[in-house]
Structure 1
Amino acid sequence: MKAILALEDGRTFEGEAFGATGTTTGEICFNTSMTGYQEVVTDPSYRGQIVAMTYPQIGNYGITTEDNESAQPHVRGFVIGELCNVPSNWRSTQNLDTYFKEHGILGIEDIDTRSLTKHLRSLGAMRACLTTELDAAAAIEAAKNSPSMEGSDFVKEVSTEKDYAWDQESRNWIIPNASTGEPGPYQELPPARHRIVAYDFGIKYNILRRLRQAGFEVDVVNSRATAEEVLAKNPDGIFLSNGPGDPAALDYIHEELKKLIGKKPIFGICLGNQLLAHAFGGTTFKLKFGHRGGNQPVKDLRTGKVTITSQNHGFAVDPDSLPDNVEVTHINLNDGTVEGMRHKEHPVFSVQYHPEAAPGPNDATYFFEEFAAMIDATK
Structure 2
Amino acid sequence: MTHPSQSGNGVSDVSAVSTHFSSSLISTTPTASAMLASAKLVARRLATAAKFTNKTGSLDRATLTIKDGPVFSGYSFGANKNVSGEAVFTTSLVGYPESMTDPSYKGQILCFTQPLIGNYGVPSSSKKDVYNLLQYMESPTVQCAGVVVADVALEYSHWTAVESLQQWCQRSGVAAITGVDTRQLVSYLREQGSSLAKITIGEEYDADEDAAFDDPGAVNLVQKVTTKAPFHIACPPEFSKGYHVAVLDCGAKENILRCLVQRGASLTVFPYDYPIHKVASKFDGVFISNGPGDPTHCLETTHNLKQTMDQFKDLPIFGICLGHQLLALASGATTVKLKYGNRAHNIPALDLVTGKCHITSQNHGYAVDAATLPAEWEPYFTNLNDLSNEGMIHKSQPIFSVQFHPEAKGGPQDTGFLFDKFFANIAHYRNTNGLNLHAIDNSLLVDILPQQRVL
Under a length normalisation based on structure 2, what TM-score does the superposition of the two structures give?
A: 0.76
Look up the SS of the partner of 2:424 in the other structure.
Answer: helix
**2:247 match:** 198
Q: Could you say which residue in structure 2 is the equivalent of 1:30?
A: 89
- Matched residue SS, 2:327: helix
Q: What is the match of residue 183 of structure 1? A: none
Matched residue, 1:237: 285
Query: Aligned pair 1:49/2:49, yes or no?
Result: no
Q: Are 2:223 and 1:164 equivalent residues in the alignment? A: no
Query: Against the structure 1 CA distance between its residues 134 and 165, is the aligned structure 2 distance closer, same or farther, given a 3 Å change threshold?
Result: farther
Counterpart of 1:17 in structure 2 is 76
Shift of residue 295, structure 1, vs aligned partner = 0.8
Q: Deviations along 1:251-303, whole A, 9 cap, x unmatched?
A: 11111110111512100000000000100001101000000010111000111
Amino acid at match of 1:225: Y
Q: Is the 8 A contact 1:7 1:140 kept in 2?
A: no
Matched, 1:5 2:64: yes
> What letter is aligned with 1:128?
A
Q: Distance in 2 between matches of 1:69 and 1:245?
A: 17
1:252 to 300, 304, 309: 300
SS at match of 1:72: coil
Aligned to 2:37: none
Q: 1:378 offset after TM fit, Å?
A: 2.3
- C-alpha separation between the residues in 2 aligned to 1:25 and 1:220? 31
**In 2, Cα distance between equivalents of 1:340 and 1:319:** 9
Given residue 199 of structure 1, which amino acid in structure 2 is its aligned partner? Answer: L
Give yes or no for contact 2:217–2:294 (8 Å, CA) kept in 1.
yes
Query: Where do residues 1-379 of structure 1 align in structure 2 (5 Å cutoff)?
Result: 1-65=60-124, 66-133=135-202, 135=204, 141-142=210-211, 145-167=212-234, 190-231=239-280, 234-262=282-310, 263=312, 264-379=315-430
Q: Take 2:414 and 2:209, find their aligned partners in 1: how far apart are those partners?
A: 41
CA drift at 1:85: 1.7
Say how many residue pairs are matched. Answer: 358
Letter paired with 1:63: V
**Equivalent residue number for residue 179 of structure 1:** none
- 1:139: Cα distance to partner? 5.4
SS at match of 2:380: strand
TM-score (norm 1): 0.91
Q: Contact 2:244 / 2:285 at 8 angstroms: preserved in 1?
A: yes
Helix, strand or coil at the partner of 2:198? strand
Secondary structure of the residue that 1:39 maps to in structure 2? helix
Shift of 1:244: 0.3
Q: In structure 2, do the counterparts of structure 1 residues 237 and 140 end up closer, same or farther at CA, with 3 Å as the change threshold?
A: farther
Query: Structure 1 residues 82 and 135 mapped into 2: Cα distance closer, same or farther (>3 Å)?
Result: closer
Aligned pair in 2 of structure 1 residues 218, 362: CA closer, same or farther (>3 Å)? same
Counterpart AA for 1:254: T
Give, in whole Å, the separation in 2 of the partners of 1:124 and 1:16: 25
The offset of 1:212, in angstroms, is: 1.1
8 A contact 2:338–2:365 mirrored in 1: yes
Is contact 1:247–1:274 with CA below 8 Å preserved after alignment?
A: yes
1:10–1:140: 8 Å Cα contact kept in structure 2? no
4+ runs deviating over 6 angstroms? none
Q: Secondary structure at the match of 2:73?
A: strand
Segments of structure 1 that go 5 or more residues without pairing to the other structure are 171-187
Which moved further from structure 2: 51-60 or 129-138?
129-138
Letter in 2 for 1:246: D
Shift of 1:218: 1.0
Structure 1 pair 207/117, CA: closer, same or farther in 2 (3 Å)?
A: same
Structure 1 residues 140, 319: CA separation in 2 closer, same or farther (over 3 Å shift)? farther
CA 137–94 in structure 1, closer or farther in 2 if over 3 Å, else same: closer
CA RMSD of superposed structures (Å): 1.8
**Residue 228 of structure 1: CA displacement?**
3.9
Report the secondary structure of 1:369's partner residue.
helix
Change (3 A) 1:10 1:302: same
Residue aligning to 1:176:
none
The Cα offsets for residues 181-205 of structure 1, whole Å up to 9 and x where unpaired, read as: xxxxxxx963234110111000000
In structure 2, do the counterparts of structure 1 residues 291 and 378 end up closer, same or farther at CA, with 3 Å as the change threshold? same
Richer in helix (by share): 2
Alpha-carbon distance in structure 2 between the residues aligned to 1:189 and 1:339: 35
* Counterpart amino acid of residue 321 in structure 2: C
Tell me, yes or no, if the aligned pair for 2:319 and 2:402 is still in contact at 8 Å.
yes
Equivalent position amino acid for 1:192 in 2? K
